[in-house]
Amino acid sequence: MELDTGSALSLMTQRDFMKIFKKKPTLLPSAVNLKTYTGEIIHPLGKTTVRLTTPTQNKLLYLYILPKGSNPIFGRDWINQVQINWRSLQQLNKIDSQFSTSTIKQKFKDLFGEGIGKIKDREATLEVMEGSTPRFLKARPVPFAIKQKVEKTLDELEQQDILSKVNYSEWATPIVPVLKKSGDVRICGDFKVTINPVLKTEQYTLPRLDDMMASLENGTKFSKIDLRQAYFQLPLKESCKHLTTINTSKGLYVFNRLVFGITSAPAIWQKTMDQILQGLPGVLCNQDDMVISGRTEEEHHKNLLMVLEKLQDCGMKANFNKCAFYMDEVVFCGIKISCKGLHKTEDKVKAIQDAPVPSKKSQLRSFLGLVNYYHKWLKNVAQIAKPLYNLLQNNTPFNWSEDCQTAFGTIKSMVASELVLTHYNPSLPLKLATDASPYGLGAVISHVTQEGERPISFDSRTLSKAEQGYSQLDKEALAIVWAVKKFFFYLCGRHFTLITDHQPLKYIFSPDKGIPAMSAARQQRYAVFLSGFNYSIEYRNSKVNANADSLSRLPLPVSDTDSETNDDTDELYYQEVVESIPVSAKSIDKESRHDVTIARVLNYVTKDDWPSSIEPELRPFHIRRHKLCVQQECLLWGHRVIPPRKLQQQILQTLHQGHMGIAKMKALARRYFWWPGIDKDIETMSKSYKQILYKRKSIKRIPLMLRLYEAFLKFL
């Protein structure tokens, strides 16, 4: 039994009672009503008399039987009548964590079951400002190759009661389909062009970090709970569902649950979770991440059971595979919590402390830019860094001496010390600066104080082999998304300023503008992810963005498998689109290398190094340079393939085999291809076959469409 001085009576559940007592004692009626820590009233099924025997004692005692609960409890009524050798019980007083972990899933079947939960008796409310004009935007075209998957996903969400079909709405938001690693499609709404600008943002003040940590500071064991698709578990109020209407190829749907991408969602969710967990001891929740602890192992176990029971009673679902129980330490909001107290995590300054030695002047110049950025807090830094500045002089060979190494190590220690770093404070403004070099990513999250920007944490990592092949635009976008994920617990539910030194991203990721339909799939997916955060974006010249620039040029080595942002989904997307066209990706790759114009554009896109003077044949590409990308060594504009000149005629002939007419040929071509003058080339070919157009009824269906239909059949 579990010895509990907080319980007035000794208790056992009906299930344990039936299991332990082969000869069932008669239950006597009981007028006692019990109250739990959460205020819930429990009526015992009855009480029975049991004999408790020890080597020195023999007692008849009452045991109260409950309809449900946890371990049997040895309460104060028995403690008062039974003499206990406390020292002999110290070893028996510990809970077997392995046993508890193995039985938790069985005990809370509903909580850890499949599907998406639905919180009982609570609803989220969305309100728009008075006088707001509804915005109805038409559905965006979906590439043929993934259209079938999009419609299948819509049907599944409707069956799960996440979506409901409607015939009319004043509001309509276009969707952005995102491919998952599994090949399935996730449906996201581009709400920043409809309701987000006019939404009354939920104002919910997050507690200070010191206050939050007070409930965990003396913990001995820790457990983490991960909720399954958290926002989808909170129902929306009927009167505001129409605000979430999405416009799809299958018509209009409304969300029945709170949806990611709405600016108020983080605050609404946090407020709801705080209300649900109110009064429960030893629990701390930040969005969908929950930590439970206790001053002793027994208290932690009891707190954990109370939280799990509360979540299950509310109708919620948790992902058992992502939960962790009875841990010795846990990281929360960038602070390591253990039985020894609160500690800074090493990764806050690891990017500085483990930064590699500069191997050339450009890297050293970038590092000294970081030093200058924080020079006001670094005493005598100019004198300390003198050997490093001497290396930057003209006609001086780059010879890394012992003095340079000493200065480099001293400066890194100073930057990573309390002289520069500050603690996270929810009441101070946040800035997140990011940068990408040809081989690394860097990020710094800072508070804006009266003295200037004070960093909270630094981070960096090298690019994987696949990521090094991205265009510079995609690398900079990757740096932003990676940094936001890295510092998620600082940023979620708060407004912050996002700083980049790549100006096109200011427009692509603008929180006030829609996601560009012709942006590359990778950028669209990144924009959808960022739409769930409350931020403003600011352009800062590379020379001024020295803190993040330095980290990206001296990044920590990270293996491909450690990369936090995996872009296999883009490979899936382009495989669906590219493999649907009448020429293979291999042939496009081969011929692109021999096409002078395409080869030059590929080089410019990869290195993001367009010449200042643009030749006439390159102007159409230069105009679209911010939406060009490289995938499988093929040049694309958004999701349209740009074939080399040698293959253009072959593609036109395949398109024309159906003799559909100029308008239909152009419509079909625009789904898959683009090159300068494509419309004119289609018109020229169509006119040359004018005499055949009158006989088109007798012509067989084009092979391209047959191939597409065959490809779609496999998804049915």
Domain final residue pick, 47, 80, 113 = 80
686-701 pLDDT per residue, tens: 776 654 444 444 444 5
Q: What is the DSSP string of 666-684?
A: HHHHHTTB--TTHHHHHHH
Note whether residue 51 is domain-resident: yes
Same structural domain for residues 460 and 592?
no
pLDDT for res 344: 58
In this prediction, residue 531 carries a pLDDT of: 78
Looking at the structure, do residues 154 and 221 belong to the same domain, yes or no? yes
Position 166 in a domain? yes
For residue 88, being part of any structural domain is answered with no
Calpha distance 317→114 (Å, rounded)? 8
Same domain, 496 and 390: yes
Whether 358 and 478 share a structural domain? yes
pLDDT in tens, 345-387: 666 677 788 888 888 888 888 888 888 888 777 878 888 888 8
Same structural domain, 338 and 353: no
Asked if residue 314 is part of any domain, the answer here is: yes
**Residue 310 reports pLDDT greater than 90:** yes
Q: Looking at the domain assignment, is residue 129 inside a domain? A: no
Q: Measuring CA to CA, which residue among 93, 69, 103 is closest to residue 2?
A: 93
Higher pLDDT, 613 or 218: 613
Is 704's pLDDT higher than 70? Answer: no
Q: Look-up: residue for tokens 């010249």?
A: 541
On whether both 381 and 490 belong to a single domain, the answer is yes
Residues 334 and 250 placed together within one structural domain of the fold: yes
| Element at 446 (helix H, strand E) | strand 440-449
Range of the domain at 425: 345-574
Mean pLDDT of all residues in 54-64: 86
Task: Look up residue 691 and give its amino acid.
Answer: Q
What letter would DSSP give residue 239? Answer: G
Query: What mean pLDDT do residues 384-395 have?
Result: 86
At 650, is the secondary structure helix, strand, or coil? helix
Residue 238 makes CB contacts below 8 A (sequence gap 6+) with: none
Decide which of 153 and 542 is more confident.
Answer: 153
Which position has the higher pLDDT, 448 or 416? 448
| Sign of the CA dihedral with 654 first, then 659, 662, and 667 last | negative
The domain boundary, picked from 574, 593, 620, lies at 574
pLDDT for residue 255 is more than 90: yes
Tell me the two tokens of residue 219: 């913990």
Please name the helix (run of DSSP H) or strand (run of DSSP E) that holds residue 434, with its range, or none.
Answer: strand 430-436
* Cβ partners under 8 Å of residue 543, min gap 6: 369
Q: Which of 45, 80, 115 is the last residue of a domain?
A: 80
Q: With bands split at pLDDT 50, 70 and 90, how would you rate the model's confidence at 341?
A: low
Q: What is the CATH number of the domain that holds 408?
A: 3.30.420.10
Measure the CA–CA gap between 373 and 361, rounded to whole angstroms: 18
Q: How far apart are CA 712 and CA 146, in angstroms?
A: 9
- CATH assignment at residue 24: 2.40.70.10
**Residue 23 counted as domain residue:** yes
Amino acid at 304: L
CATH number of the domain that residue 204 is part of: 3.30.70.270
Please give the distance of CA 321 from its chain centroid, rounded to a whole number. 18
Question: Would 579 be classed as within a structural domain?
Answer: no
The total of other beta-carbon atoms located within 10 Å of residue 206's CB is: 17
Of residues 544 and 269, more confidence is placed in 269
- What average pLDDT does the segment 246-266 reach? 89
User: Which residues does 598 contact at the CB level (< 8 Å), separation at least 6?
Assistant: 592, 635, 642, 644, 645
The total of structural domains in the chain comes to 4
Residue 710 has pLDDT above 60, yes or no: no
Q: What is the pTM of this model?
A: 0.58
Task: Find the angle CA(157)-CA(158)-CA(164) to the nearest 5 degrees.
Answer: 125
Residue range 47-56: average pLDDT? 85
Residue type, 522: R
How far apart CA 336 and CA 342 sit, in angstroms, is: 6
Q: Phi first, then psi: what are they for 404, rounded to 5°? A: -65, -40
Mean pLDDT of 550-573: 60
DSSP state of 145: H
pLDDT of residue 93 exceeding 50: no
Task: Give the relative orientation of helices 402-415 and 361-373 as an angle to the nearest 10 degrees.
Answer: 40
Q: What angle do CA 624, 173, 206 make, to 5 degrees?
A: 100
The kind and range of the H/E element at 188 are strand 185-189
Position 43 scores a pLDDT of 85
Of 12, 261, 249, which is closest to residue 150 (Cα–Cα)?
249
pLDDT of residue 529: 80
Q: Note whether 303 and 310 are within 8 A (CB).
A: no
In-domain check, residue 89: no
In degrees rounded to 5, what are phi and psi of residue 679? -65, -40
Same-domain check for residues 423 and 463: yes
> 91 pLDDT exceeds 50?
no
DSSP states of 503-568: HHHHHHT-TTSPPPTTS-HHHHHHHHHHTTSEEEEEE--TTT-HHHHHHHHSPPP--GGG-SS--H
pLDDT grade, residue 119 (50/70/90)? very high
Q: Reduced to 3 states, what is the DSSP secondary structure of residue 607?
A: helix
Q: In terms of domains, do 336 and 431 share one?
A: no
pLDDT of residue 333: 63
Q: Are 319 and 113 in contact (CB under 8 A)?
A: no
538 bridge partner residues: 499
Tokens of 63: 């045991």
Query: Do 339 and 349 have their domain in common?
Result: no
Which of 545, 526, 429, 411 lies closest to 479 in space, CA to CA?
A: 526
pLDDT at 501 over 90: no
**Contact present, 317 and 227 (Cβ < 8 Å):** yes
Tokens 């060009």 found at: 628
Q: What is the pLDDT of residue 98?
A: 44
Alpha-carbon span 460 to 554, nearest angstrom = 8
Q: Which residues, 6 or more positions from 624, have their beta carbon under 8 angstroms from its beta carbon?
A: 637
Structure tokens at 576: 């669906």
The residue count for the chain: 716
Residues 498 and 389 in one domain: yes
Q: Angle of helix 645-656 relative to helix 703-713, nearest 10 degrees?
A: 90
* Confidence (pLDDT) at 158: 92
Q: What percent of the chain has pLDDT over 70?
A: 81
> Given this model, what pLDDT does residue 392 score?
86
Name the residue with higher pLDDT: 564 or 448.
448
| CA–CA dist 298, 456 (Å, integer) | 35
- Is residue 537 located within the same domain as residue 650? no
